[in-house]
Amino acid sequence: MLRIILSRLLQTLVVVFLLVTFTFFAIRMMPGNPFADVKALTEENKAAMERLYGLDKPLHIQYANYWKNVLLEGDFGDSFSMKGRKVSTLISESFPISLKLGLFSLILAMSLGIPLGIIAALFHNKWQDYTAMIIAMAGICIVTFVLGPIFQLSFAKPLSWLNVAGWSRPSDVILPAITLCFGVAAYLARLTRGGMLDVLSQDYIRSAKAKGVSQLNIITKHALRPALVPAVTFLGPAFAAIITGSFVVESIFLIPGMGQYFVLGIQNQDYTLVLGLVLFYGILMGIANLMSDLALIFMDPKLRNS
Amino acid sequence: MSSSVKALPAGLKDAEKGSSLWADAYVRLKKNKLAMLGGIIVISILITCFVIAPILSWIGFDGNEQDLANKFSGPSTKNLLGTDQLGRDLLMRVLQGGQISLLVAIMATMLTVTIGVIYGGIAGYVGGRIGNAMMRIVDGLLAMPFLIIVILFREVISGQVDEIARFLIDDWGWNDNDVLRFANLIPLTFAIAGFGWLSMGRIVRSSAASLAQQEFVEAARSLGLSHRRILFRHILPNMLGPIIIYATLTIPSFILYEATLSYIGLGIEPPNSSWGKLIQEGANYLETNITVLAVPAVLFSLTLFAFNFLGDGLRDALDPKASKD
């Protein structure tokens, strides 16, 4: 067990290192420079800016300096585009908001998608199955930027306790979380159905049926745990992606979450912001994958040996 | 082979002929009503966008002509679905937007299939340490935030595309309007494919790896065939099923990527428009006039539905074993 955790953590470190390295050099291949949009910037000022952020030094020195600052001082650098803000401040302010929204919508997605998938598998090729799968397909095809405005118009307008947009009241999490959950719920439903169908055709389920175990017991005690393996595999990366914020949902509901910085950072060629986000995202992704691995080991005893 | 078929007595030919994988698959597909409906919708949408829309624009309907005195008008003989916030014909705008959305998705899918099949096929066939290393690169790129990869690709490529476009206009005398409008789509297409081929590569690799272990490949190898011939003549034809299935399912996901990027203002640029852009504009006028959002949103969602049902149906038909999820 400990060996699995350690090797996973080591893998995560390697992946994060490669991600940051790739991003560091790739982002400098983009045409233009971080200060191209600042108007009325004389050559002198521009040179001074570049000196200030260390951009005048050779690339490999900049790269080494970046790691030095991150590892030795825990400093992700200053944001280029948001003057006077540190990247770590931007992340630590916006991440809790995205985390709250993401957790809410994940809980919703799991409580919608997993039962839907189980129902579909139990009634395989009957109308319940078709209905469930059409609902799941709707969750994939009716996307957030169509759903969001419709929800705003049909719920937030008539109901006074819901804001159309913004992030000031506790109830503000409801509509964005619902908007965000359908896509994930749909994938979970399809994966749960697939896993369940796989398990239900196994011999040990037939033996349990032959012994007279009740339908409910077969599902909850024998089938459910192995059937959820595909869904949990998907949940790992989905978890990391969803708690780091969705730019679309955040911009529809005007939520000051982390998703916006991914887009702003790239658009403004804010090197430090983008690198900080990639670093943060990579670590979260590693942790989420580790959690889903551990859950899988708990769920499928066969994996413990391998 | 062909001579022995010809030698069969006339009456026996049909009875003795076994049904091929594709014929079997077609029979299964025809039974699946949702998939057939999806297929019909896909074909109708393609015909509407690429045949009927050009005809409509040829007889005088125009999606770019503004008529500010006539905004948000209802359906009429001049504007079959009414007009938008600038008095432009909504039907033509949606159809022309659809052309762009579909064009980008289909071109990006073709790129994805090409790159994915070559990369994944080699990784799967070669296997061992090299194959593994090739796949670790894919895994690493998949761990990147999708937006960052797409935008990076787009920015890096757009410079090159601009140069080629300028060359075509200046040196070859091509129509600058057409060239620039098309050149506008290329970076986005490459950016989407640059991220999209990763999953394709994985799928192709796993089926190439399992095919490479089979006896007929060993037979081909012992006959002394070259690696390239084994890969393209023996392994690739056997992977067509999964490739077709995955390509069909890739188109809707690329339509969605394109729409998302255009929605957040990082995709299609004016004068081009796409469903994502139209939905984004429509959402701003939701309270004034809901048709401006509803028309592109309905057509967009319908297209995604149709492609997905068709893809799922193809998977059930071509690969019955893998059809459970």
Q: Is the per-residue pLDDT at A123 higher than 80?
A: yes
pLDDT band, residue A192 (cuts 50/70/90):
very high
- Give just the sign of the alpha carbon dihedral A272, A275, A279, A280: positive
Q: pLDDT per residue over B95-130, tens digit each? A: 888 999 999 999 999 999 999 999 999 998 888 888
Mean pLDDT on A136-153:
88
Mean pLDDT of B221-226: 88
Bridge partners, residue B83, by sequence: B89
Q: Which of A19, A146, A248 is facing B140, going by the closest CB pair?
A: A19
Give A191 to chain B, closest Cα distance, Å: 6
Query: Is residue B177 pLDDT above 90, yes or no?
Result: no
Q: What percent of chain B has pLDDT over 90?
A: 13
Q: Which residue of A has its CA nearest to B139?
A: A15
Task: Enumerate the residues of chain B whose CB falls inside 8 A of the CB of residue A241.
Answer: 145
Q: Which of B81, B151, B148 is nearest to B299 (CA)?
A: B81
pLDDT digit string, tens, across residues B55-82: 887 887 776 777 666 666 777 766 666 7
**Domain-embedded: residue A291:** no
B135 reaches A (C-beta below 8 A): no
Quote the pLDDT of residue B107: 94
pLDDT band at B325 (very low <50, low <70, confident <90, very high): very low
Residue by residue, DSSP assigns A39-77 as: TT--HHHHHHHHHHTTTTS-HHHHHHHHHHHHHHH----
Residue among A238, A7, A148 at smallest CA distance from B293: A148
Q: What is the pLDDT of residue A36?
A: 61
Q: How far apart are CA B184 and CA B190, in angstroms?
A: 11
B43 contact A CB<8A = no
CA distances from A243 to A98, A101, A262, B27 (A): 5, 7, 13, 45
Q: What proportion of chain A, given as a percentage, has pLDDT over 90?
A: 19
Burial A154-190 (b: 16+ CB within 10 A, else e): eebeeeeebbbeebeeeebbbbbbbbbbbbbbbbbbb
Q: Is residue A52 part of a domain?
A: no
Residue B309 contacts residue B35 (beta carbons within 8 Å): yes
Domain assignment present for residue A138? The answer is yes
A36: left (phi over 0), alpha (psi -120 to 50) or beta: alpha
Instruction: Reply yes or no on whether the pLDDT at B30 is more than 70.
Output: yes
Q: What's the whole-model pTM score?
A: 0.83
| Contact (CB<8Å) B145/A244 | yes
Q: B283-310: buried (b, 16+ CB within 10 Å) or exposed (e) per residue?
A: bebbeebebbbbbbbebbbbbbbbbbbb
Residue B190 to residue B17: CA distance in whole angstroms: 44
* Structure tokens belonging to residue B208: 């190439």
Domains of chain B: 27-51+83-322 (1.10.3720.10)
Give the orientation angle of helix A144-151 with respect to helix B236-263, to 10 degrees: 30
Confirm whether A23 is domain-assigned: no
pLDDT digits (tens, 9 = 90+) for A34-75: 776 555 667 777 777 777 777 777 888 888 888 888 888 878
Closest among B133, B98, B135 to B120, alpha carbons compared: B135
Residues A156-167: what's their mean pLDDT? Answer: 80
Side chain identity, residue A120 = A
Q: Is residue A176 reached through a cis peptide bond, with omega within 30 degrees of 0 on the bond before it?
A: no
| pLDDT tens column, A68-111 | 888 888 788 888 777 778 888 899 999 999 999 999 999 999 99
Q: What does the pLDDT read at residue A118?
A: 93
SS3 A78: strand
Residues of B within 8 A of A33 (CB-CB) are none
Give a yes or no: residue A305 inside a domain.
no
Helix (H) / strand (E) element for A264: namely helix A259-267
Angle between helices B186-212 and B236-263 (to 10 degrees): 150
Chain B environment of A263 (Cβ under 8 Å): 147, 151, 264, 266
Euclidean distance between CA atoms A24 and A21, whole angstroms = 5
| Short-list B83, B87, B89, CA closest to B60 | B89
C-alpha to C-alpha distance for B290 and B118, rounded to whole angstroms: 46
Q: Cα angle at B309 between A124 and A140, to 5 degrees?
A: 90
Looking at residue B289, what is its pLDDT? 79
CA B34, B207, A8, A87 torsion-angle sign: negative
Contact A292, A232 (CB under 8 A): yes
CA distance B5 to chain A (A): 40
Distance CA B267, CA A145 (A): 15
For the question of an ipTM over 0.85, the answer is: no
Q: What is chain B's length?
A: 325
Q: How many domains does chain A have?
A: 1
The reply to whether A26 falls in a domain is no
Q: Measured between beta carbons, which residues in chain B are less than 8 angstroms from residue A239?
A: none
What is the pLDDT, as a whole number, of residue B119?
Answer: 93
Cβ count within 10 A of residue B243: 19
Give just the sign of the alpha carbon dihedral B313, B319, B320, B321.
negative
Which pLDDT does position A211 carry in this prediction? 92
Specify the long-range contacts of residues B11-14, CB closer than 8 Å, at least 24 apart.
none
| CB of A4 closer than 8 Å to CB of A293 | yes
What band does B17 get if pLDDT is binned at 50, 70 and 90? low
Q: Write down the pLDDT at residue B43.
A: 92
Q: What is the mean pLDDT of chain B?
A: 81
Res A77: pLDDT:
82
pLDDT score of B143: 76
Mean per-residue pLDDT of chain A: 85
* pLDDT tens string B263-296: 888 888 777 788 888 888 888 887 777 888 888 8
Which of A122, A143, A196 should one mutate to test binding to chain B, selecting the residue with the greatest count of B CBs within 10 A?
A143
**Structural domain of residue A162, as residue ranges?**
94-258
What are the structure tokens assigned to A297, written together?
Answer: 């080991």
What is d(CA A49, CA A60) in angstroms, rounded to the nearest whole number? 19
Any domain includes A122: yes
User: What is the domain-level CATH number for residue A202?
Assistant: 1.10.3720.10
Residue-level pLDDT at A38: 59
Q: DSSP string spanning B81-123? A: T-B-TTS-BHHHHHHHHHHHHHHHHHHHHHHHHHHHHHHHHHH
State yes or no: pLDDT of A228 exceeds 60: yes
**What share of chain A has pLDDT > 70, as a percent?**
95
User: Does A67 fall in a domain?
Assistant: no
Cα distance between residue B235 and residue B123, in whole Å: 13
Average pLDDT over residues B168-194: 80
Q: Do A149 and B293 touch (CB under 8 A)?
A: yes
Whole-number pLDDT of residue B18? 62
Question: Residue B19's pLDDT band (boundaries 50, 70, 90)?
Answer: low
Residues listed for chain A: 306
User: For the residues A134-152, what does the mean pLDDT come to?
Assistant: 88
Closest Cα partner for B143 from A278, A303, A148, A176?
A: A278
> Are the Cβ atoms of B156 and A30 closer than 8 angstroms?
yes
Residues 6+ apart with CB under 8 A from B168: B174, B179
Residue B65, min C-alpha distance to chain A (Å): 26
* Mean pLDDT in residue range B187-209: 88
Which pLDDT band, with edges at 50, 70 and 90, does B4 fall under? very low
State the Cα–Cα distance between residues B319 and B21, nearest whole angstrom.
Answer: 10
- pLDDT tens-digit readout, A20-34: 888 888 888 776 667
Name the more confident of B314 and A304: B314
Lowest mean pLDDT: which of A39-43, A131-135, A191-195, B24-28? Answer: A39-43
